[in-house]
Chain A
Amino acid sequence: MERNLEKTMDNVTNVEGVIGCILADRQGLCLGAKGSASGQSAGLIAAIADEVAKLEPESNAPIIALESDNRQCIIQRQGPIVGAIYKAISP
């Protein structure tokens, strides 16, 4: 059942620079996590996507990028699913 989901996540994590990805449903429950992403983050990621979307309710779903010294986390909601991609930042 989740073969397509697994395949999509594999495709994402195989891209150069990507170190992990996570998918969450409308309730913030984890649908899948690959690489360095933790399933525990699903709820927070969905909450961040929902809160940020409230800033511009008339616009399309925003893309949110959180950046630390060595990693970047990019979050976007696509319909009922929230996806987050973790990327390594080379110095």
Chain B
Amino acid sequence: MNVFQELKKFLYQLLNSVDGLHSILITDRDGVPVISVSDEKAPELAMRASFLSTFGMATDQGSKLDLGKNKTIISIYSSYQVVQMNKLPLVVSFIANNICDTGHILSLESKIDPILQNLKNVVAEA
């Protein structure tokens, strides 16, 4: 099994560990996917680069509030929620249903952090 498949397997394990979580996407700041996993219930539109790239702008604006650097943006809609984490040059996005445990999604940060270092190098080189 190559590194990419192992990463996918790891992300699928995380995806299945949280009830109601539909997708985990690791993208660059323009919303271009580096690696992603999702189930059949994930909303197609929310997984597009045009939606995911808005986080880059929002986190920059959020960092101007004199509260320090913005780390996470949680957007809760009527049927879905999107949790996006600032790991620049990477962005980690979680798409879940609206009743999913937000705190549980946030606790995945510590599990996903170790794999990001290698991916950061890939994005930095590209």
A interface residues with partner B (beta carbon < 8 Å): 24, 27-30, 40-44, 46-47, 50-51
Does B71 sit within 8 A of A, measured CB to CB? no
Residues of chain B within 8 A (CB-CB) of A44 are 103-104, 107
Question: How extensive is the interface on chain B, given as a class?
Answer: 10 to 19
Does B49 sit within 8 A of A, measured CB to CB? no
Known contacts A27-B101, A28-B101; A50 and B106 CB within 8 A of each other = no
Looking at chain B's contact residues, the main secondary structure is helix
In chain B, residues 84-126, which have Cβ atoms closer than 8 Å to a Cβ of chain A? Answer: 101-107, 110
Residues of chain A within 8 A (CB-CB) of B105 are 43
A-B pair number, CB within 8 angstroms: 38
Does B19 sit within 8 A of A, measured CB to CB? yes
Closest Cβ of chain A to B36, distance in Å, is: 22
Are A47 and B18 in touch, CB under 8 angstroms?
A: yes
Closest Cβ of chain B to A84, distance in Å, is: 12
Are B101 and A46 in touch, CB under 8 angstroms?
A: yes
Are A47 and B110 in touch, CB under 8 angstroms?
A: no
A29 to B18, CA, bound (A): 15
A28 to B107, CA, bound (A): 10
Are B107 and A40 in touch, CB under 8 angstroms?
A: yes
Residues of chain A within 8 A (CB-CB) of B104 are 28, 43-44, 46-47
A30 to B105, CA, bound (A): 13
